[in-house]
Amino acid sequence: MSVLIYTENAEGKFKKSTFEAVSYARAIADQNNTNLVAISIGDVSNDELAGLAKYGADKVLNVSNTKLKNFINQAYASVIADAAKKEGADIIVLSNSFSGRGLAPRIAVKIEAGLADGAVSLPEQNGGKFTVKKTAFSGKAFAVVELTTANKVISLTPNSYKLVEKAVTPAIEDFSSEGNASDFKAMIKEIVRSTDKVSLPDADIVVSGGRGLKGPENWGMVEELAGLLGAALACSKPVSDSGWRPHSEHVGQTGIAVSPNLYIAIGISGAIQHLAGVSSSKVIVVINKDPEAPFFKVADYGIVGDAFEVVPKLIAAVKEYKASA
Amino acid sequence: MKILVCISNVPDTTTKITFTDNNTQFNTAGVQFILNPYDEIALARAIELTDGGNGSVTVINVGEAATEPTIRKALAIGATDAVRINAKAHDAWYVAYQVAEYVKANSFDLILTGRESIDYNGSKVAGMLGELLDLPSVSIIKKLDIEGGNVTVEREIEGGKEILTIPLPIVAGCAEGVAEPKIPNMRGIMSARTKPLTIVEPIEVKNFSEVISYETPAPRGQVKLVSVDDTAKLVDLLHEEARVI
């Protein structure tokens, strides 16, 4: 047996969430006293692939077939299941990214594996029981799930496992696998990726605005604060429902769940549905003029004050901090 | 066009989540169950696509009799008919397996799900269905249009979007942006009572996972308030104490 980690790339580069998943998979391999094999699919340079060894990938399988250059979940699932079979891997790990969510269920069905999606900590393996803790009820709770199958697939929630460096000598091998003919029905017409903005699910810091900001024309200061902090932008449901901001920024129970190191909520009262999506943030800062806003009850730090007064002052303070740092 | 929409019965978004039996059971006392919000989006799009007699929308739910009010709600919103697989929805694998068996016996041009259910948040059923039926699947879509025999979807990716064209049939998990949820009107509510709801017995299948227990997030300590005029102190706390900037 061994552990197989699928290392997702975006335009040939691995993201932090990929390295987190490698660190996590390394720890699982150590729990089981076995090897960690990584599989990378697409156009990734050898230098980039060698970076996987820094986090403990004993071997890297590189699939650089032109047909597989872009992500097609159906074909990638075939290739990864094929690699698992050839490597004798019974645990497959990947990141619970948008693509990961399209991929993991297909792999799980192919290899008849139980799937723990959105894992937030290492599995526990006691007395033949293999259990994984995952988020449930949209962040309002966690569920401990036992995978009762011989093969197992685990997708890791981004920002929930720390990077652990454990350098090994990189061994990169070409791995040839084609997928099935029926895997290639989907045609990618266009990929739009804004490279200047931090993506919300991956962000270490998130700056989020609510109705308290009164209108889309007032987002300039939110963007400025986010820019200074290298943060991603987010918003509450009423804001995206009103069309002030795109749905892709909506954080909460029916939007995206995030788990950044720092979540700054500006003018968001903290409805239970919104709190669900941010509850696994490590530190929460709330800026709201209403001292009774429910968000303060789950915040670590807060400023009671009008956003239009507080945010410019906060921007000035961050600028000062950055100038002195 | 024949569209199948997979729906689940979930606790209302305002529910305070608690557990019983030593944190092994979800406490359903006083909990209002609703049609999963993402499934409402999928259903709304299915109704738009078949508008004007251009096909039918079947909703399918894996659940015990208690889920029927939610199924009737989907019929009131505008589904043509409904199927209930008479079993507890054990996990995503179980649900996907039951739905796949139904689809094999009753073909559909398009199968929609919500991007995830708001109780277990797995985003798994669409992908598993795709695999079980050997069909393309797209898990989190923000837009869906059909032209001829092809469907064009916009898929969410980190920091952007991807546009795909795929020949029907496919399985797609719908998120915000695909359609606006529809509110049932009086005619819909009246007709929902008499629309066909077929009950199908489940097919036996091995379980892949079991929920062992639940936990609630650790409560946070008391909030530290900083004055409006002392934003520098907040920055300092975030740097020195919390170490997040």
Taking the domains of chain A in order of start, what are their residue ranges?
2-184, 200-324
Residue A101's closest CA among B113, B143, B180, B205? Answer: B113
Range A226-235 average pLDDT = 96
Q: Is A307 on the interface with B (CB under 8 A)?
A: no
Backbone φ and ψ of A74, nearest 5°: -60, -45
Where does residue B68 rank: exposed (0-12), middle (13-18), buried (19+ CB within 10 A)?
A: middle
Point out the residue among B122, B160, B238 whose CB comes nearest to the CB of A194.
B160
Point out the residue among B121, B130, B139 whose CB comes nearest to the CB of A136.
B121
Three-class DSSP labels, A281-295 = CCEEEEEECCCCCHH
Q: State ipTM.
A: 0.96
Point out the residue among B160, B209, B244 whose CB comes nearest to the CB of A283.
B244
Residues of chain B with pLDDT under 50: none
Confirm if A304 and B241 have CB atoms less than 8 A apart.
no
CATH superfamily membership of A200-324 = TPP-binding domain (3.40.50.1220)
- Residue B226 inside a domain? The answer is no
Which range of residues forms the domain containing residue B158?
Answer: 2-215
Give A197's pLDDT tier (boundaries 50, 70, 90). Answer: confident
Examine the pLDDT at A195 and tell me if it is beyond 80: no
Segment 20-49 of chain B within 8 Å of chain A by CB:
37-38
Distance CA B175, CA B116 (A): 8
pTM for this predicted structure: 0.95
Domain A2-184 top-level CATH class: alpha beta
Interface test with B, best of A95, A98, A135, A202 (most B CBs within 10 A): A98
My answer on whether omega of the bond before B169 falls inside 30° of 0, hence cis, is: yes
Asked if the domains A2-184 and A200-324 are classified in one and the same CATH topology, the answer is yes
- Residue B245 inside a domain? The answer is no
B225/A304 CB distance under 8 A: yes
Give A199's pLDDT tier (boundaries 50, 70, 90). Answer: confident
- Residue B236 inside a domain? The answer is no
CATH code assigned at B12:
3.40.50.620
Q: Which residues of A touch B38 (CB under 8 A)?
A: 254
Please report the pLDDT score of residue B125 as a whole number. 98
Please report the pLDDT score of residue A96 as a whole number. 97
What's the total number of domains in chain B? 1
Helix (H, G, I), strand (E, B) or coil at A62: strand
Please report the pLDDT score of residue A127 as a whole number. 87
With b meaning 16 or more CB within 10 Å and e meaning fewer, what string describes B70-103? bbbbbbbbbbbebbbbebebbbbbbbbbbbbbbb
Q: Which residues of B touch A148 (CB under 8 A)?
A: 207-210
Confirm if A14 and A51 have CB atoms less than 8 A apart.
yes
Average model confidence (pLDDT) across chain A: 95
Q: Is A318 on the interface with B (CB under 8 A)?
A: yes
